[in-house]
Amino acid sequence: MGPVRIFRAHDVRAAIDMRACIEACEQAFVAYSSGRAELPGVIHLDVPEARGEVHIKAGHLHGAPYYAVKTASGFYDREPPAIDGLVMVFDARDGSPAAFLLDGGYLTDLRTGAAGGVAARHLAPRRVERVAVIGTGAQARHQVDALAEVRPDFSEVRIWGRNRDHAARAVEAVQGRRGDRCAVKYLPSVRAAVEGAEVVITCTAAREPLVEAAWLAPGAHVTAVGSDGPGKQELDPEILRRADLLAVDSRDQCAALGELQHAPDQRERAAELGTICAGEASGRIDEAQLTVCDLTGVGVQDVAAANAVMAALGDRGDTFEI
């Protein structure tokens, strides 16, 4: 045991931005799919009396100075929901604790958005004008931020959510981030938001399909991030079957937790995003292709983000002896 550093949310936010997180996550996906990462199974803990969900993920990237264990929670009996988390960082040379990132769940949100950015970089049409966002939580903002890093010229964002007040706040937040570069508006139905959009992003906690295959425009790209547990579902399974290119962050994990659990017949043709990033599998090659990426969130993303934060922060932070 030795000195352990404590970094709080403001330290973490200052240490990594969306662009850096996209690059870190892309490298992590490549490492994972090429066998250069260690990734244990996800621990999912429910706290039903408070509608609480807790996810514990861990991982190690071969050669990285640190490995990490991340806990992220969402308690939905509160208004607004209580979202929290921390990342425990360990020295990969001897396993000693190196730092606690008391980020309040920020890195989870950022790296989830960044994964959408990686997917869009390789799978979205070159020209994107209209974006549909199904969901009104933090990912509505982070996914649009990530898309703007790789397809910056979109001019319209359409947001749908079950709760009109939440949707109004999401519209205001996204508009504030995009400024005069695009129009952000609420749409009264999922279908109205999705039809004609070149990129469709789903980020809800739904347990039944919200997006139907018939609504998708030719050549659209779909990023699905909400399904990260048994029974969760945002997409009509026919969307996965009709996709010209179906990508996943982890084939095994998506088959258990993601949209792929509802279309098990598509498992073998699903390409892991890391193989696409590495050029071992094809990304989008035709503007008419329907592309889908099923993202459940893998622990190597947390490790990559944590290593980037540690590198940026250097010797800063409060130090405690344990």
Instruction: Give the active site residues.
Output: 228
Separation between Cα atoms, residue 194 and residue 306, nearest integer Å: 34
Q: How many CB atoms lie within 10 A of CB 250?
A: 27
Residue 10 one-letter amino acid = H
pTM of this prediction? 0.93
Q: How many CB atoms lie within 10 A of CB 309?
A: 28
Extended strands (E) in 92-229: 97-102, 130-134, 156-160, 183-186, 199-202, 207-211, 221-224
Domains observed in the chain: 3-108+300-321 (3.30.1780.10), 116-297 (3.40.50.720)
pLDDT surpasses 80 at 182: yes
Query: What integer pLDDT is reported at residue 3 of this predicted model?
Result: 82
With a CB cutoff of 8 Å and minimum separation 6, the contacts of 25 are 111, 114, 115, 117, 118, 301, 304, 305
Q: Which residues pair with 38 in a beta bridge?
A: 60
What percentage of the chain exceeds 90 in pLDDT? 91
Q: What is the DSSP string of 59-85?
A: EEETT-SEEEEEEEEEETTSSS-EEEE
Q: What is the mean pLDDT of residues 17-29?
A: 97
pLDDT digits (tens, 9 = 90+) for 100-115: 999 999 999 999 999 9
Confidence of residue 318 (pLDDT cuts 50, 70, 90): low
Torsion of CA 187, 188, 194, 200, to 10 degrees: 60
